[in-house]
């Protein structure tokens, strides 16, 4: 079967870090490329509790792009195994089931929660994170019966959505209701990240909320807050006119496009602005909740300076190494929390996985996400897909997908 596989070695990493500054195409074309289209065997069921799925649609995530261009911290390589077939935002059809699978049958159209936690790895007793329901933040991503991998798409044993077939543990699988489109099915995963972020840092009535970055996850964070009918004022900082207009239609109240976050924070929240002897200004007052979907030194430092006393900053974006001035954090008693994946929650009518909460919201028409699927490519045209994502504003891209239909 055809599969787009990722692999990298230390010498390759070093060469690309140098040569890639001159020619970005080296990351996905030629002998040094981190991704290559390969003809590989279909993955086998690891145990009777697994299913095999034929990929229909798979979204191209910003994390996939970061992986290809080696933007991630090397720390994450401890929880990745090569070569791996990338792709984790998946809608597919079950084509085979293990003998222990009773909940699903051949022909079911499904999506998967990609995290490879204790249960998928055959580990018992499960780790404290899994026991608490946060299976997306399992402590055993490099242990158990599977090769290292935080999720489907970076584990060499499972395959991924940029291959024609992959395998998933039954605990990962969610059947899509009748009438839900394949595009919506492939968008359940990124929306689950957004909904989990909002669940963990839920605005209170009357809060001033700032979202930094109006791409896919930033837009979905806005859609999640509106789907939950949270009575808050949402500001989004996004320089691209196309994406700014798109996120305004998603429910943002105000858009900052000029990058002058401090002036706009003063205007919107009534914060007071102070100038130190050297360095950036600091604000007293500001936004109650900030979701930083960029995650760079610049945006994180701005976030802390524009966050109110006892405000909460959710770090959604996965950036490179950052340097922070933590003065605003202790000065204003702020909380900074990480955002990654999701798990089980009782916030939406009984204990359920965040994937099921998303499916329920989309099925009930509380959240419209299908408009985010703007471009589709065949796996043979993966280079064009990468290049399209490198110029999202120019190409009016929100979410690109690989189609095997």
Instruction: Quick: pLDDT tens for 202-247.
Output: 999 999 999 999 999 999 999 999 999 999 999 999 999 999 999 9
Total number of residues shown for the chain: 405
According to DSSP, residue 151 is labeled: B
What pLDDT sits at residue 391?
95
pLDDT tens sequence across 157-183: 999 999 999 999 999 999 999 999 999
> Measured at the alpha carbon of residue 29, what is the angle toward residues 28 and 35, in degrees to the nearest 5?
40
Domain spanning 193-338: CATH superfamily: NAD(P)-binding Rossmann-like Domain (3.40.50.720)
CB burial string 237-270: b at 16+ within 10 A, e below: bbebebbbebbbebebeebbbeeebbebbbebbe
pLDDT tens sequence across 292-327: 999 999 999 999 999 999 999 999 998 778 999 999
The rounded distance, in Å, linking the Cα atoms of 392 and 215 is: 9
Residue that is written with structure tokens 């979410």 in the block: 399
The CA-based diameter of the chain, rounded to the nearest angstrom, is: 69
Q: Is 264 in a helix, a strand, or coil?
A: helix
What pLDDT sits at residue 22?
93
CATH no., domain 2-175+369-403: 3.90.180.10
Sign (positive or negative) of CA dihedral 184, 188, 193, 196? positive
pLDDT tens sequence across 94-134: 999 999 999 999 999 999 999 999 999 999 999 999 999 99
Domain range summary for the chain, segments of one domain joined by +: 2-175+369-403, 193-338
Residues 6+ apart with CB under 8 A from 187: 59, 89, 369, 370, 372, 373, 399
Residues 211, 235 contacting (CB under 8 angstroms): yes
Residues 53, 92 contacting (CB under 8 angstroms): yes
Both ends of the chain: CA-CA distance in Å? 14
């Amino acid at each position: 079967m055809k599969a787009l596989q990722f692999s990298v070695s230390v010498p390759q990493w070093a060469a690309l870090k140098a040569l890639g500054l001159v020619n970005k195409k080296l990351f996905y074309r030629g002998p040094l490329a981190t991704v290559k289209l390969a003809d590989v065997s279909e993955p086998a069921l690891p145990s009777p509790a697994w299913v095999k799925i034929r990929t229909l649609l798979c979204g191209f995530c910003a994390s996939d792009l970061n992986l290809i261009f080696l933007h991630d911290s090397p720390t994450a390589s401890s929880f990745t195994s090569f070569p791996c077939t990338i792709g984790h935002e998946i809608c597919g059809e079950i084509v085979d089931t293990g003998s222990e699978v009773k909940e699903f049958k051949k022909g079911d159209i499904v999506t998967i929660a990609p995290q490879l936690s204790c249960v998928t790895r055959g580990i018992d007793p499960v780790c404290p994170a899994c026991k608490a329901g946060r299976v997306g933040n399992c402590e055993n991503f490099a242990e158990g019966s599977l090769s290292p991998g935080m999720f489907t798409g970076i584990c060499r044993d499972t395959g991924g959505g940029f291959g024609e077939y992959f395998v998933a543990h039954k605990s990962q699988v969610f059947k899509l209701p009748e009438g839900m489109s394949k595009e919506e099915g492939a968008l359940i995963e990124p929306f689950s990240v957004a909904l989990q972020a909002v669940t963990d840092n839920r605005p209170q009535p009357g809060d001033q909320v700032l979202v930094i970055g109006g791409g896919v996850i930033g837009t979905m964070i806005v859609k999640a807050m509106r789907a939950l009918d949270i009575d808050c004022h949402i500001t989004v900082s996004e320089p691209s006119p196309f994406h700014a207009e798109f996120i305004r239609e998603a429910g943002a109240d105000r858009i900052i496009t000029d990058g002058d976050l401090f002036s706009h924070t003063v205007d919107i929240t009534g914060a007071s602005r102070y100038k130190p002897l050297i360095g950036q200004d600091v604000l007293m007052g500001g936004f109650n909740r900030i979701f930083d979907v960029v995650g760079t030194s610049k945006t994180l430092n701005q976030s802390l300076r524009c966050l109110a006393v006892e405000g909460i900053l959710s770090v959604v974006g996965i950036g490179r190494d950052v340097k922070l001035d933590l003065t605003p954090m202790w000065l204003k008693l702020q909380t900074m929390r990480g955002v990654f994946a999701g798990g089980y929650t009782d916030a939406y009518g009984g204990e359920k996985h965040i994937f099921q909460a998303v499916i329920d919201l989309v099925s009930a028409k509380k959240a419209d996400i299908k408009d985010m699927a703007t471009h589709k490519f065949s796996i043979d045209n993966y280079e064009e897909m990468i290049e399209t994502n490198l110029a999202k504003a120019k190409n009016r891209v929100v979410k690109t997908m690989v189609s095997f239909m």
